[in-house]
Amino acid sequence: MAIADSLVMELEREAATTRRVLERVPDDKLSWRPHPKSMSLGQLALHIAETPGFVADMASRSVYEVSPASFEQRAAASATELIPALEQSVNKAKTMLRGMDDGSAMSMWKAVQNGKEVFSAPRVGVVRTIMLNHWYHHRGQLSVYLRLLGVPVPSIYGPSADENPFA
């Protein structure tokens, strides 16, 4: 099995879980945030939906120019846009991963800012840490947002207080 094959399998499995979490996002609470420094629910949910595809675009290049000054986290205008955004994003990521052989997976990728390297890693490390681990981190944040809003939290890796897939 190629490196990319295992990543695609994980992406597909985790996309199903992410979908269950995003389906719970209440449309009437998209502007809600737990703290002034936190993303709004609409920003966080859209970020989660778009992460795999965004990182696929980023990781498909050998060098990625970081431009934090131009980065603004968009917010979902409606909860109905989250699942289509997730599906498009995951499809883009699967396409990129399926086109990656083991040699390109192990090739070095770097991020630069104003011509200076700020981060480098094998491309597979970028996929693992930024596409997948980063995605799971934010999905966990979203589950806390849902709990704080009184929305039943779905099972993610096992039972939640609201849902037991083993019962």
Mean pLDDT of 139-165: 96
For residue 136, what pLDDT band results from cuts at 50, 70 and 90? very high
Q: What is the CATH number of the domain that holds 77?
A: 1.20.120.450
* pTM reported for the whole predicted model: 0.94
Contact 32, 22 (CB under 8 A): no
Mean pLDDT of 23-50: 98
How far from chain centre, in Å, is Cα 163? Answer: 23
Q: What are the pLDDT digits (tens) for 64-73?
A: 998 876 678 8
Classify residue 161: in a domain, yes or no: no
Contact 59, 51 (CB under 8 A): no
The position carrying tokens 């083991």 is 102
Classify residue 112: in a domain, yes or no: yes
Number of domains in the chain: 1
Mean pLDDT of 9-26: 98
Q: Over 80: is that where the pLDDT of 49 sits?
A: yes
- The pLDDT score that the predictor gives to residue 67 is 84
